[in-house]
Amino acid sequence: MSTFQAPKGTYDLTPPRSATFLAVREAISAPLRDSGYGYIETPGFENVELFARGVGESTDIVTKEMYTLTTKGGDQLALRPEGTASVLRAALEANLHKAGNLPVKLWYSGSYYRYERPQAGRYRHFSQVGAEAIGTEDPVLDAELIILADQAYRSLGLRQFRILLNSLGDKECRPVYREALQTFLRDLDLDEETRRRIEINPLRVLDDKRADVQKQLTDAPKLRDYLCDACKAYHEEVRALITAAGVVFEDDEKLVRGLDYYTRTTFEFVHDGLGSQSAVGGGGRYDGLSEMIGGPELPSVGWALGVDRTVLALEAEGVELDLPATTSVYAVPLGEEARRVLFGVVTELRRAGIAADFAFGGRGLKGAMKSANRSGARYTLVAGERDLAEGVVQLKDMESGEQTAVPLTEAPAELAKRLG
């Protein structure tokens, strides 16, 4: 065992479980790639101010959970706690919005970092797949992203998740609601930190998970009663579009999410099999974020789905993914000449797109066949001096146990034929 261990609240992904994480990332990104979203990758750290402005100074992410550091040159940096601000910053820096083809549709996958209290489903290092549609205000875009996330989860075999939907209004109607909510909240019995939050972003108080706070919010003003006609019409169109697509959702008037930049459409994917950490993903519209970080007006919408929590949701439902075999053919040489010859065959198989592995280290037949079994190989190729003298290799079907001698030169073609 090493002297060192993974830092508290983090984890290592190792085979065979890592294959499930790769499959989840692939399943989430596949509908995006098929819908015009291009891949983007950003640094693992950014200027602290990017998140302070974009995510919001009243959020727990900025006030409590960001990993910050000072470089030798004196720059204040933060490990990225979420993806949207970084992706929008990168799109603006690259002038993608000036290419004349709006919206700019991007998807990403990576690791994110928050100083959380470690527990199942909540880590200090976690991975997400996200999508952003930048530069267009259109309820069809909001609906598209919700539908694509639903499609991704269903393609994995998940069925016990729910979609929560709400509208947070816009710069016209939200200030009126904000004032009404602040007036209500100031009369409640709340701690000093929560009272400070009331003055910065009172909607965040609605997201407070403490039971004593939620009990006092029973009679809080409802945002839906303050939505302007434009926001009501926008929200109804989003609801109609996803309903027409056969996507089931629940209206949740208290859903505000944990980031300050959301406007209008807000949604969350939850799975009731995960206990308190039930959110597996979510997102919404953030029409003012570009201006917050110094860019032009670019109404946008996006989401991020947690890979870690999606895997936990699969385990909660007992869903086993049909993972591709890491090894289809395992070559077992018996002798030095067989090592040289069979390694050439393995190389040829790999070039033909067949997953093949090799018994390294000169192990005996018994040990090598155990390794072949552990690898999940469908076939083994075994050859010794006598086989080579006869110009054949022994091809064994690991499921049936049947073994046949095939000409050495025909082994790659025979395996390709059997593996389809």
CATH number of the domain that 376 lies in?
A: 3.40.50.800
The pLDDT of residue 337: 94
What single-letter amino acid sits at 164? L
**Does residue 256 fall inside a structural domain?**
yes
**Does residue 126 fall inside a structural domain?**
yes
**Does residue 367 fall inside a structural domain?**
yes
End-to-end CA distance of the chain: 42
pLDDT, tens digit (0-9, with 9 covering 90-100), for 90-108 = 999 999 999 888 999 999 9
Q: How far apart are CA 269 and CA 168, in angstroms?
A: 17
The pLDDT of residue 379: 96
Question: Which SS3 state, helix, strand or coil, does residue 308 take?
Answer: helix
The pLDDT of residue 260: 65
Provide the domain limits for residue 391: 329-419
Q: CB 332: neighbour CB atoms within 10 A?
A: 25
**Does residue 208 fall inside a structural domain?**
no
**Does residue 214 fall inside a structural domain?**
no
* DSSP result, 165-184: EEE---TTTHHHHHHHHHHH
Residue corresponding to tokens 């037949």: 365
What single-letter amino acid sits at 177? Y
Nearest by Cα to 338 from 394, 382, 373, 404? 382
Q: CB 151: neighbour CB atoms within 10 A?
A: 19
The pLDDT of residue 261: 74
Both 42 and 146 in one domain: the answer is yes
Question: Which SS3 state, helix, strand or coil, does residue 385 take?
Answer: helix
Angle at 402 between CA 400 and CA 405, to 5 degrees: 150
The pLDDT of residue 259: 63
Taking 50 as the pLDDT cut, the residues of the chain under it are: none
Both 334 and 311 in one domain: the answer is no
Residues in the chain: 420
The model's pTM is 0.89
> With contact defined as beta carbons under 8 Å apart, do 309 and 274 qualify?
yes
**Does residue 8 fall inside a structural domain?**
no
Q: How far apart are CA 141 and CA 134, in angstroms?
A: 10
Both 232 and 353 in one domain: the answer is no
What single-letter amino acid sits at 112? Y
The pLDDT of residue 420: 82
Q: How far apart are CA 286 and CA 261, in angstroms?
A: 5
The enclosing H or E element of 356 equals: strand 356-358
Looking up residue 239, the CATH number of its domain turns out to be 3.30.930.10
Structural domain ending residue among the three candidates 289, 317, 345: 317
Both 354 and 255 in one domain: the answer is no
Q: How far apart are CA 248 and CA 340, in angstroms?
A: 59
Alpha helices (runs of H) in 71-217, residue ranges in sequence order: 84-93, 139-155, 174-185, 192-200, 203-206, 211-216
**Does residue 414 fall inside a structural domain?**
yes
Query: Which pair of structure tokens corresponds to residue 221?
Result: 């003003």
pLDDT, tens digit (0-9, with 9 covering 90-100), for 373-416 = 998 899 999 999 999 999 999 999 999 999 999 999 999 999 99
The pLDDT of residue 143: 98
Both 83 and 146 in one domain: the answer is yes
The pLDDT of residue 59: 63
Q: What is the CA radius of gyration of the chain?
A: 27
